[in-house]
Amino acid sequence: MTAAVAALPILTLLLIMGGAAKLISAGDDARQGALNRLGPAVLVPERFRRAAMLCCALGEFALVAGQLVADLAVARWLTVVFFTVSTYVLWDLRRRRPDVGCGCFGEVSSAPVGLRSVARTAVLAVLAAVVATTDVGPAEALSRASWTAAAWAVCGLALLLSLSPEVEETFSRLRHRAPCEERSIPAGRALSRLRSSTEWRAHADVLESDEPFDSWRELCWRFLAFPGRGGTEVVFAVYLSGRRPAVRVAVVGQDGTLVEPIQESIAVSA
C-alpha cells in the first residue's frame, strides 16, 4: 500500500509532463521535412503524425483526469495498459527506426531510443500495476501520506532519473549550449568510440580494412563506411552525444540491398 501511495504522484507528474511536452512538440515535429523526428509517431504515415502525437498527449491527460478527478479504477488499469503498450512500441521503434528519439518529453528526448528508455517505461508500467492492484485513489493517497511513502517516492524518482537519457541531454545543453547537431565534433572521436563498441567487435571479421573509405556527418550522427568481404560495404552510424553513444550498423551489397539487417541486440546507453 505504501508503494502505491508513493507511485501515484510519480505517475501523475510524468503523465502531465509527457502530455504537455507532446502537445508543444506536435505542431513542429509532425510536418513534412522536419529536421528531427520524435517518438512512435514516425511509424505512422506522415499525414497522421500530428494527429497521433495529439492523441497520445490527450490520452495521457485523460488518464490523469480519470485517476485524480473521477477516481476510476478503470483509469488506473488503462494506465497499466498505456505503459505496457508504450514499452512494446518503444522496443519496436528502437528496432525499426534506430535514429529516432522516444519523444517522451518532447524534443529533450531526441537521443535514440536505448535500453534505458525502454526500461523506464517498463518501470512505469510496474508502478501503474502496483497502483491498480491496490486500487489507491487520490483521497486515500493523501490520507495515507507518510515519511515512509515520501522515501519510497524519492527512491522511485531516483530510479526513473537514472533511466532517463534526458538528464544527460539537459546537462549537455547546459555545458555546450548548442544542441548536438550544431556542435563541431572531431571525426576522430566517433572513430575511437566505434572501435570500443560491441558492433565493431561483432563485425570486425567481415571488414576488409580497419580504415573507413568514407566518413560523413548528418545532424548528430557520424557515418563511417568500410569495405566488407565479398564486395559489400559495412556502414556504421555513431551517435555523437552521450558517454556510451548508440552505434548502428548495416551491411549493404553493391546493388544497394541490405545484406544484413540492423542489429537488435545492441548495448546502448541512450
Partner 1 sequence: MSHARVERRHLLSAAALGRDVQTPRPADDDGTAIDAVSGQIVDATTHLLVVENDDGQEERLVIAPWATAWRGGPVPPTRLPIGSRVIIRTRAGRVADCVWADMTRMTGIILDVRGRRDLTVEIDGGPHRGRRSIVIPYRSTGRILVRHPRLEPGYLFDAIGTMQDGAAVAQVPATSQPPYRAEALPPPPPAFGGTRTRISGTAVWSDYTDHGAAYPMLESSDTGCDQGVVSCARLPYLSLGSMLFVRNVCARRSGTVPIVGCGCMAGHFCDRCLDCDTSPRGRIVELSALSYVRLGGDLTKGCFNAQVGLG
Smallest distance from the beta carbon of 148 to partner 1, in angstroms? Answer: 38
Q: Which residue, 108 or 129, is less far from partner 1 as judged by CB?
A: 108
Q: Which is nearer to partner 1, 168 or 233 (CB)?
A: 233
Whichever of 97 and 244 has its CB closer to partner 1, that residue is 97
CB 167 within 8 A of CB 175: no
Nearer to partner 1, 143 or 184 (CB): 184
Q: To the nearest whole angstrom, how small is the minimum distance from the Cβ of residue 15 to partner 1?
A: 22
CB of 220 to partner 1, least distance (A): 8
Helix 73-96, helix 115-134: angle, nearest 10? 170
Query: What's the closest the beta carbon of residue 54 comes to partner 1, in angstroms?
Result: 16
C-beta of 97 vs 144, nearer to partner 1: 97
The residues of the shown chain that bind partner 1, judged by CB under 8 A, are: 25, 28-29, 31-36, 96-99, 107-108, 110, 173, 177-179, 181-182, 184, 187, 214-219, 221, 223, 225, 233, 235-237, 248-250, 252, 256, 258, 262
**CA triplet 105, 172, 12: central angle to 5 degrees?**
25
- Residue found by looking up cell 571525426 in the block: 187
User: Shortest Cβ distance from residue 31 to partner 1 (Å)?
Assistant: 7
Q: Amino acid letter at 175?
A: R
Q: Whose Cβ is closer to partner 1: residue 2's or residue 215's?
A: 215
Nearest approach, Cβ of 178 to partner 1 (angstroms)?
3
Q: Which CB atom, from 5 or from 30, has the smaller least distance to partner 1?
A: 30
Smallest separation (angstroms) from partner 1 to the CB of 254:
10
Nearest CA among 215, 224, 218 for reference residue 181: 218
Give which of 185, 260, 267 is closest to 218, Cα–Cα.
Answer: 185
Q: CA 231, CA 254: separation in Å to the nearest integer?
A: 7
Half-sphere exposure of 97 toward its Cβ, with a 13 Å CA cutoff? 18
